């Protein structure tokens, strides 16, 4: 795909779906799209781009391809172990009203895992879990509490599965007492945080294909939205370079705590955002499984 073809396809995708491909690393994105178009249609890129206008199914397939929603409960056992045995217990010493945000929550497996942990560690606590994603379709499954496949729930520890999962034919649903602990909302991460004052922000496996500019914007916004001493929990491959400048310290692999002395207290809403979501349509960012 040459520059002209890629530019044309990008502008079609932006106008039809709101997904701003300028937020993605362009080499990887081109290769992925080339493979996808070739596999599904065998058309040349320009013809494919033109057909997107008239064919809603083609457009839906493309959106599904761009939005990688793969997720599972307690994804990354070791990191969730640290969260449960070290990070959340420390937070609970300070407050029984934790305000938590699961950003890019996909099918809801992540926020429901958090709800299960909190119910064990602090059954009487008045905690809040906000879970957001850009993808309406996936949020519908999250809000409904399933159904989840055996593969999606395989990481749920036995003690939690017995209490909080309900078998439903060959699949599983989250029990009502867990489902009602999570508030779901559609939100585009590239417009900045929906609120501030969070004790914990969990954003995992969302930024793999982001450009550095999009990541800078995101992490700066997250830091601004954390309370002092609040914690940012990232994915295993999403190490945060330059966390000190943001006013964070690394307290464990994947966990960063706000020190309260960083530049990120100034939220970057005013920054020029040609490629971070202030175009007419919301900028959607791809994610990695
Ligand atoms: C691979 S899933 C990760 C889910 C979960 N955090 C986990 O680790 O299992 C990435 C999710 O990020 C969402 N996402 C991608 N770009 C987004 C954006 N700009 N705003 C909000 N959500 C976005 C996708 O729709 C997808 O559901």
* DSSP secondary structure, 46-65, as one string: HHHHHHHHH-HHHHHHHHHH
Rounded CA gap, 62 and 94, in Å?
46
Please choose from 74, 79, 134, 207 the residue to mutate so as to test ligand 1's pocket, defined by most ligand atoms within 8 A of CB.
Answer: 134
Q: Which residues line ligand 1 (CB under 6 A)?
A: 67-71, 75, 104-106, 110, 133-135, 138, 188-190, 204-206, 284-285, 287, 289
Helix, strand or coil, per DSSP, at residue 257? strand
What's the pLDDT band for 261 if we cut at 50, 70, 90? low
Of 105, 100, 98, 99, the C-alpha closest to 132 is 105
What's the pLDDT band for 70 if we cut at 50, 70, 90? confident
Which domains are assigned to the chain?
3-66 (no CATH), 77-269 (3.40.50.150)
Q: Rounded to the nearest whole angstrom, what is the distance from the C-alpha of residue 93 to the centroid of ligand 1?
A: 30
Q: Rounded to the nearest whole angstrom, what is the distance from the C-alpha of residue 20 to the centroid of ligand 1?
A: 15
| Number of the ligand 1 atom closest to the C-alpha atom of 102 | 6
- Please report which helix (H) or strand (E) contains residue 100, including its range: strand 99-103
Least confident stretch, 23-27, 28-32, 103-107, 267-271? 267-271
pLDDT of residue 262: 53
Q: Rounded to the nearest whole angstrom, what is the distance from the C-alpha of residue 176 to the centroid of ligand 1?
A: 24
What's the pLDDT band for 68 if we cut at 50, 70, 90? confident
Rounded CA gap, 258 and 222, in Å?
10
Question: In the chain, where does DSSP find H-type helix?
Answer: 3-17, 26-40, 45-54, 56-66, 77-82, 88-94, 109-121, 136-144, 150-153, 158-164, 176-179, 212-225, 243-246
pLDDT digits (tens, 9 = 90+) for 183-227: 999 998 988 999 999 999 999 999 877 888 999 999 999 999 999
What's the pLDDT band for 241 if we cut at 50, 70, 90? confident
| Number of the ligand 1 atom closest to the C-alpha atom of 188 | 20
Rounded CA gap, 124 and 117, in Å?
13
Q: Whose CA is nearest to atom 2 of ligand 1?
A: 69
At residue 273, does pLDDT exceed 70?
Answer: no
What's the pLDDT band for 283 if we cut at 50, 70, 90? very low
Higher pLDDT, 73 or 279: 73
Burial 221-242 (b: 16+ CB within 10 A, else e): bbbbbbbeebbbbbbeebebee
Average pLDDT, the chain: 87
Helices and strands counted in the chain (H then E): 13, 9
Q: Whose CA is nearest to atom 13 of ligand 1?
A: 104
List the Cα angle 218/219/223 in 5-degree steps. Answer: 120
- The whole-model pTM stands at 0.84
| Number of the ligand 1 atom closest to the C-alpha atom of 135 | 25
DSSP class of 160 = H
In the chain, what percentage of residues exceed pLDDT 90? 62
pLDDT of residue 65: 84
Helix, strand or coil, per DSSP, at residue 209? coil
Cis status, amide bond into 147, omega within 30 of 0: yes
At residue 274, does pLDDT exceed 60?
Answer: no
Tokens for 3, please give them: 């520059």
pLDDT digits (tens, 9 = 90+) for 159-191: 999 999 999 898 999 999 999 999 999 998 988
At residue 267, does pLDDT exceed 80?
Answer: no
Chain centroid offset of residue 192 CA:
13
At residue 28, does pLDDT exceed 70?
Answer: yes
pLDDT of residue 46: 87
């Amino acid at each position: 795909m040459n520059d002209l073809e890629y530019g044309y396809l990008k502008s079609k995708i932006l106008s039809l779906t709101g997904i701003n491909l300028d937020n993605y690393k362009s080499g990887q994105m081109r290769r992925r799209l080339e493979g996808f178009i070739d596999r599904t249609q065998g058309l040349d890129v320009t013809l494919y781009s033109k057909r997107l206008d008239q064919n809603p199914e083609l457009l839906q397939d493309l959106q599904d391809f761009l939005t990688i929603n793969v997720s599972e409960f307690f994804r990354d056992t070791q990191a969730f172990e640290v969260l449960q045995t070290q990070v959340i217990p420390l937070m609970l010493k300070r407050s029984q009203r934790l305000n938590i945000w699961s950003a890019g929550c996909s099918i809801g497996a992540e926020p429901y895992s958090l709800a299960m942990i909190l119910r064990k560690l602090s059954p009487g606590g008045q905690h809040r879990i906000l879970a957001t994603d850009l993808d309406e379709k996936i949020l519908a499954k999250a809000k409904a509490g399933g159904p989840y496949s055996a593969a999606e729930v395989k990481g749920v520890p036995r003690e939690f599965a017995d209490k909080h999962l309900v078998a439903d034919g060959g699949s599983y649903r989250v029990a009502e007492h867990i489902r009602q602990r999570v508030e779901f909302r559609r939100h585009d991460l590239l417009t900045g945080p929906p609120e501030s004052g969070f004790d914990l922000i969990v954003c995992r496996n969302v930024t793999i294909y982001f450009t550095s500019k999009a990541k800078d914007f995101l992490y700066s916004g997250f830091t601004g939205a954390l309370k002092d001493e609040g914690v940012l929990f990232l994915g295993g491959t999403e190490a945060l370079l330059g966390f000190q400048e943001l006013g964070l310290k690394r307290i464990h692999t994947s966990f960063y705590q706000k020190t309260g002395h960083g530049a990120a207290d100034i939220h970057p809403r005013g920054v020029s955002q040609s490629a971070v979501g202030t175009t007419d349509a919301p900028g959607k960012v791809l994610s990695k499984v």
